[in-house]
Chain A
């Protein structure tokens, strides 16, 4: 503790061998009593509060004696109290120092609860300092940040502390701490090494109280964990789960009765997790070894990670299912040919339709196959079959369904679908009929009910597939030109959209009513709020105090640039960072050294730009151009007087006004009042005459060019028109 001696009883004046700063005299009088060093020559006070290493006590109110002095911390800069004799403590400490101090204190507190050594705590404090300097403490609770720093230290040092411990101490959700920790680790670019479950074993073993055999059990558990690691069980998993499983097994191996509940209480994982780990371990070949074998032998073979095997298992199941489906298809194929035979038989045995039915059947035409069997079915069920009746009039009707080859492509699809559906019906019929069908059908019939259901599902799938194929069939190749917009006018392309399907998505009137009722009930609050808002607005409008608060979203335009240089230019132009920047130099940064230095005098388009460039540079380089500006001014003035008045345009007028302004800024002595007067009155010199003067102005420009460094060759295509740059120039000058 250092003490500043400001008043004391004893006082001795001593001479020191110092030199006075003001007069150079070496005659310094040091008064211990007052604690000051004074030069006797000029009288300047060299030292006011001399630091002494004494301990002095002072009697305070109530007879309490306290030591005199001030605590100075080892770290953290203490501002020298410039307020004279300072007993002031803590005042004038900056916020940053306070934050750090506070953080250090909390780290110490928390760290000691975790029994971390001082080195770790110091490292944690260093991390904290980094975090503060990167402004990552903003918006986060200090205790979260502290916890994350401590955990970071734990991870880097490899101490067996879990984030769960920290969350227990702080009573904070562990995932929040985890998030903070991950963020800090990323921001500080600190790579926290993946935690090794082996680190946790001793700790958990200790908590499970194995007594004397603690070490042995730990070793066994360690071996188990290592085995698990080799079997890829630890990748992507929480280490505590693995530790729990290993410890459980190890305990049982050493004949300790530790139930699953005990273990999960210590390890803090869920029972399901533990069981799962044990199951996975069971699947590995190591689990088949006896205890002795395990301790002695180490299997060479490494397993795949459980998720991988599960995935493969799934793939295998899928393959099996595909196989099954294919087999079913084959069987179905067989069935279908049997069915066709059955159908032909039935056709022959069917009572032929006569009279009105025949005509009806003829009308149906291609859809006969669906209608026919149905009708036949009804006939079969009602009347006994008459196998020998074949009417000539029905011959053609009969023949028509039996040659599907004549049909077109999609009709054939329809046919096939219809056939499949009828087969479904047929098998049902066959089941009903029983003995009527030929022998083959009966054997099929037995097998059919079992597959009836699956067939239905397959047929269901088939019909869906057919529907899709219809749709794709109808789509006339939309992929012909993917880049070309098929509807340049923006009209909705209706190809491939089934209108019926769309209609299904729209409610009819009754449904709309119901829905409206429900919706209004649900959103009653919202509707009320809206009404109130509207009333408020109308009221304010009447009163005239209506402030329309529009949410202004600043829409950023994307800059399209071909090269980096162009992009930089455009960005600078848009952002208008500063009027003092020489944009031309920046622009030329990306251009090669040998850029064309000459200013092409031709081109009316180029000329005003050049003038603008000159003026822009004027805005940039204030000093050098003052003189140039003056000469320009005078020249222009001369030109103004000499030239014949011509029609003025808005732009040049603005330009000249701008020139006037620069001129007036730059040259105070020129008569500014007179100039703005005649200048707008007279016609400003048109662009063309300026061109003639360019040669004359070359020498005054050369100074600028010297300062600018290089010439200005505007990249013409990307250059905006003079008008907007005028405005920007104007604004820039106004800055």
Chain B
């Protein structure tokens, strides 16, 4: 039974989770790129190693400072597991990697409201939040940003 039939099921589906973690030690990106099977490193283009694992299917950007960004997971727990796997790979390559300050940065989810929406009307009534993309107003993004309470200067 799909989510429409089950009233207790969550209609929203998480699509992507971005998280960061600090491995706590400087890394030699060239070494990592050459020793790891699933790593690509193009220093002219971008100063980080791009590593991918199959399970959970995620991509990580590993920087020489030891910081890492992990994207593509479908749930928070998966993101954490994936980040740990990357850290383990780095550890196995000989670096004293640790797992500090794991933090979820961004979550993207989709939701089906099960009824068609008049996009023009939405833009008219919720102008604060809605914006139409540059492709000749074909699509409509409705954005509500929730900020944390700490005040930045």
Q: Are B150's CB and A497's CB within 8 A? A: no
The stretch from A28-36, A251-259, A512-520 touching chain B is A512-520
Within 8 Å of chain B (Cβ to Cβ): is A676? no
Q: Are A507's CB and B151's CB within 8 A? A: no
- Least CB distance from A503 to B in Å reads 7
Which residue of B35, B89, B93, B150 is within 8 Å of A561 (Cβ)? B150
Within 8 Å of chain A (Cβ to Cβ): is B24? yes
Chain B residues near A315 (CB, 8 Å)? 2
Given A490-B99, A492-B84, A492-B88, residue A178 in contact with residue B34 (CB < 8 A):
no
Q: Are A523's CB and B44's CB within 8 A? A: yes
Within 8 Å of chain A (Cβ to Cβ): is B147? no
Chain A residues near B127 (CB, 8 Å)? 191
Q: Are B85's CB and A507's CB within 8 A? A: no
Given A191-B124, A235-B120, A490-B100, residue A519 in contact with residue B138 (CB < 8 A):
no
Within 8 A of A (CB), among B53-92: 53, 55, 77, 81, 84-85, 87-89, 91-92
The stretch from A104-112, A552-560, A725-733 touching chain B is A552-560
The stretch from A71-79, A334-342, A354-362, A567-575 touching chain B is A567-575
- Least CB distance from B75 to A in Å reads 11
- Interface 1/0 per residue, A494-532 and B, CB below 8 Å: 101100011111110001100110010001011000000
Chain A residues near B38 (CB, 8 Å)? 505
- Least CB distance from A500 to B in Å reads 12
Within 8 A of B (CB), among A188-237: 191, 193-195, 232, 235-237
In the complex, number of A-B residue pairs with CB atoms less than 8 Å apart: 125
Q: Are A507's CB and B77's CB within 8 A? A: no
Q: Sample 5 A-B pairs with CB under 8 A, ordered by A number.
A: A182-B132, A308-B116, A523-B44, A556-B152, A571-B153
Given A232-B116, A491-B98, residue A496 in contact with residue B81 (CB < 8 A):
yes
Tell me the bound Cα distance from A263 to B41 in angstroms: 50
Chain A residues near B137 (CB, 8 Å)? 182, 194-195
**Given A505-B53, A556-B153: 14 more A-B contacts, CB < 8 Å:** A175-B135, A182-B134, A194-B123, A195-B137, A235-B119, A318-B2, A489-B98, A493-B99, A506-B35, A507-B37, A515-B34, A519-B34, A559-B153, A574-B153
Q: Are B152's CB and A236's CB within 8 A? A: no
Within 8 Å of chain A (Cβ to Cβ): is B12? no
Tell me the bound Cα distance from A491 to B42 in angstroms: 30
Tell me the bound Cα distance from A194 to B124 in angstroms: 9
Given A236-B140, A492-B99, A523-B43, residue A304 in contact with residue B116 (CB < 8 A):
yes
Within 8 Å of chain B (Cβ to Cβ): is A319? yes
Within 8 Å of chain B (Cβ to Cβ): is A346? no
Tell me the bound Cα distance from A707 to B136 in angstroms: 60
Within 8 Å of chain B (Cβ to Cβ): is A536? no
Within 8 Å of chain B (Cβ to Cβ): is A186? yes
For the complex, count residues of A whose C-beta is within 8 A of B: 60
Q: Are B88's CB and A497's CB within 8 A? A: yes
- Least CB distance from A599 to B in Å reads 29
Question: Which residue among B81, B123, B139 has the maximum number of chain A CB atoms within 10 Å of its CB?
Answer: B81
Q: Are B151's CB and A561's CB within 8 A? A: yes
With both beta carbons as reference points, the residue of chain B lying nearest to A496 in the complex is identified as B81
Which residue of B84, B92, B98, B132 is within 8 Å of A503 (Cβ)? B92
Within 8 A of A (CB), among B120-135: 120, 123-124, 127, 131-132, 134-135
Chain B residues near A564 (CB, 8 Å)? 151
Q: Are B138's CB and A238's CB within 8 A? A: yes
Tell me the bound Cα distance from A236 to B137 in angstroms: 7
Q: Are B85's CB and A502's CB within 8 A? A: yes
- Least CB distance from B71 to A in Å reads 18
Tell me the bound Cα distance from A380 to B81 in angstroms: 48
Q: Are B150's CB and A505's CB within 8 A? A: no
Tell me the bound Cα distance from A510 to B2 in angstroms: 50
Chain B residues near A60 (CB, 8 Å)? none
With both beta carbons as reference points, the residue of chain B lying nearest to A568 in the complex is identified as B151
Within 8 Å of chain B (Cβ to Cβ): is A275? no
Chain B residues near A525 (CB, 8 Å)? 44
Q: Are B92's CB and A178's CB within 8 A? A: no
- Least CB distance from B8 to A in Å reads 19
With both beta carbons as reference points, the residue of chain A lying nearest to B24 in the complex is identified as A490
Which residue of A497, A516, A575 is within 8 Å of B34 (Cβ)? A516
